[in-house]
Amino acid sequence: MDISGIGVGRNVAVGPVIRMAAPLQEPSKAPRAVGVSADEEMARVQESMKTINADLQRRAEAAENGDKGTQQAAPILQALAQMAADPALLDTIKKGVDDGKTAQRAVFEGFASFEQTLSALGGYMAERAGDLHDVGQRVIADLEGVPAPGLPQSDKPFVLVAEDLSPADTAGLDMEKTLAIVTSQGGPTSHTAILARARGLVAVVSAAGADDLSTGQTVIVNAAEGSVTIDPSDDEIAAANAAKAQADKAKELRGKPGALKDGTLLPLLANVGKPEDADPALEYGAEGVGLFRSEFLFLGNEQPPSVEVQTAAYIKLLSRFPGKKVVIRMLDAGADKPLPFLTPGDEPNPALGLRGLRSLRQHMDVMNAQLDALVAADAQTDADLWVMMPMVTDEHEAEYFVRLGKSKGLKKVGVMAEVPSIAFMADKVAKVADFVSIGTNDLTQYTLAADRTLGSVADYQTAWHPAVLRAIKMIADAGNANGMPVGVCGEAAADPDLAVVLAGIGVNSLSMTPVALDDVRAELAKYTMDEAKDKAAQALDGAFYHPTRWDFEQQ
């Protein structure tokens, strides 16, 4: 039997399920049963605390002997083990038991009072309060004879099944043992999905049927298909292992330039949100940065950052890519990225209001400061800096920004194509801009008039719609006719199948979240340019777009 959900990534995993145990109920305040002495109850507490201490010690030792990543967990596990043997804590619990409380209640209250003390100390100690709570829950679970809540512990690799994972759970995942994650809740942009994508973990989220999976069942988790097969046959396991071997092969091309089967080059670049993200970009073999979202410098601030602060951040990024292309986007304030000092709070339709270039035009001081910082950073580094403006409507706005950027001393100045009007005017834009980068997230939202932040119209948010692909084609055709590079930097570039279509349409580079690079690189290598063109022709004709919501038969 299969369960379906939303797959994250393309890989496949096979293994036994371990369900994440549900949180424990708070132990009852009712007094202990008559006839159970304090000594007997306290003996139970000591036994459970000893069990948990030994378990944590054992895991700490195993972590110490593990690989580098696992070794980091050893001191934390040691500290937790000590918590479970703390004599002062035992004293407090004993007082509760002497007062007639059950072992569970006395443990619950004893740990809670220590947690409060730690929280009050603030800083590092306060962070440990959560760990202490975790130990307390384990002791209570042991007393009750139920599985410990939170992340399961296992010596063998397993498929983690949960309703959803909290950020703390995901941070604590043992990457050595977790073969895959299956959750019944959460969508493609949930915390779990983002983490799985960032760590390259196989995951299927939003799989409603996952609630029926039980610990010990063998499953195949197929992220490419968004499916979970329960109790698979030997043949199905063999096929899954073959698919996994095939998906693992995607990594083999890492470090090679993006190219089609016939050798046609298609540079694969990384989307980067802050300078530190250069690490994953380089790790996954990005040939440069195709989109640096400069908003991170501005978001959460009351004021725009100074030229000096910005320059330092740009230098930090650029210095990681000597000799390579780095495309930095000018501040895209407004709509889904509002900034208190730039964005009016009373726009009824912010996506159609002052955002990107429109916002910066109203705040020339901010625009000039950013350009000055970019020029200063460029002068001090060896990357090939390209700068682009978001939310540009036509050739007039494009020419305005290109001239402004060049007057400051920038060498490559271009625009993003996010508004359909720029596609209609692409032949003229291609004559004034150094390059165009297509932001398919916004181009889709504006082409289909569907707010990208609104769940009720989320079905429209797909660049597979032939209207979006035709807009992309208009821009690519104009670029190729005028020798102007056209890239794609929206989510569409991260979809391996769509990447092939974009190559066939004539796009010159693709930029995506770094972990998507392996799969896109591998998929492109399977097609010649002629085959990609063929696939593109079908896609432009709507062959891969299925508008099921208007299927009359299903009304």
What is the set of active-site residues? 191, 489
| Residue 157 Cβ vs ligand PEP, minimum distance, rounded to whole Å | 36
Q: Which is nearer to Mg ion, 84 or 388 (CB)?
A: 388
Q: Which of 89, 50, 167, 76 is nearest to 128 (CA)?
A: 76
Q: Please, which residue, 160 or 291, has the CB nearer to ligand PEP? A: 291
> Site for Mg ion (CB under 5 A): how many residues?
3
Q: How far is the CB of 463 from ligand PEP (least distance, A)?
A: 9
Shortest separation between residue 291's beta carbon and ligand PEP, angstroms? 6
Contact between 199 and 174 under an 8 Å Cβ cutoff? The reply is no
The three-state secondary structure class of 264 is coil
- SS in 3 state form for 102-160? CHHHHHHHHHHHHHHHHHHHCHHHHHHHHHHHHHHHHHHHHHHCCCCCECCCCCCCEEE
> Which of Mg ion, ligand PEP, none does residue 378 bind (CB under 5 to 8 Å by kind)?
none
- Produce one character per residue of 333-346: b if its CB has 16 or more CB atoms within 10 Å, e if not: bbbebbbeebbeee
CA distance 242 to 235: 11
Q: Which two tokens stand for residue 319?
A: 């210095």
- Decide: 150 and 18 in contact? Cβ < 8 Å: no
Nearest in space to 451 (alpha carbons), one of 330, 340, 347: 347
Is the distance from CB of 288 to CB of 267 less than 8 angstroms?
yes
CB 480 to ligand PEP: min, Å: 21
Which of the listed partners (ligand PEP, Mg ion, none) does 293 bind, with a CB threshold of 5 to 8 Å by partner kind?
ligand PEP
Decide: is 442 part of the binding site for Mg ion (CB under 5 A): yes
Nearer to ligand PEP among residue 150 and residue 439 (C-beta) = 439
228 close to 5: Cβ distance less than 8 angstroms? yes
Nearer Cβ to ligand PEP, position 186 or 439? Answer: 439
Nearer to Mg ion, 442 or 518 (CB): 442
What is the Cα–Cα distance from 170 to 512, expressed in whole angstroms? Answer: 23
Closest to Mg ion by CB, 13 or 415 = 415
Distance CA 450, CA 399 (A): 29
8-state DSSP, 486? E
- DSSP secondary structure of 323-378: TSEEEEEPP--BTTB--TTTS-TT-SSGGGSS-THHHHHH-HHHHHHHHHHHHHHH
Among ligand PEP, Mg ion, none, what binds residue 291 when CB lies within 5 to 8 Å by partner kind?
ligand PEP
| Residue with smaller CB distance to ligand PEP, 48 or 511 | 511
CA 314 vs. chain centroid, Å, equals 23
Which residues of this protein are in contact with ligand PEP, per CB under 6 A? 291, 293, 332, 418, 439-442, 489-490
420 binds Mg ion (CB under 5 A): no
Can you give the three-state secondary structure of 353-368, one letter per residue?
A: CCCCHHHHHHCHHHHH
Q: How far is the CB of 278 from ligand PEP (least distance, A)?
A: 18
CB of 471: closest distance to ligand PEP in angstroms?
12
Comparison of 220 and 463: residue with beta carbon closer to ligand PEP: 463
What is the spatial distance between Cα 304 and Cα 300, in angstroms, rounded to a whole number?
A: 10
Residue 411 one-letter amino acid? K
CB of 510 to ligand PEP, least distance (A): 12
Q: Shortest gap between Cβ of 437 and ligand PEP (angstroms)?
A: 8
- Answer for which of 96, 304, 405, 439 binds Mg ion (CB under 5 A) is 439
Check residue 27 for interaction with Mg ion (CB under 5 A).
no
Of 175, 153, 163, nearest in space to 13 by CA: 175
Interface contacts to Mg ion, rule CB under 5 A: 418, 439, 442
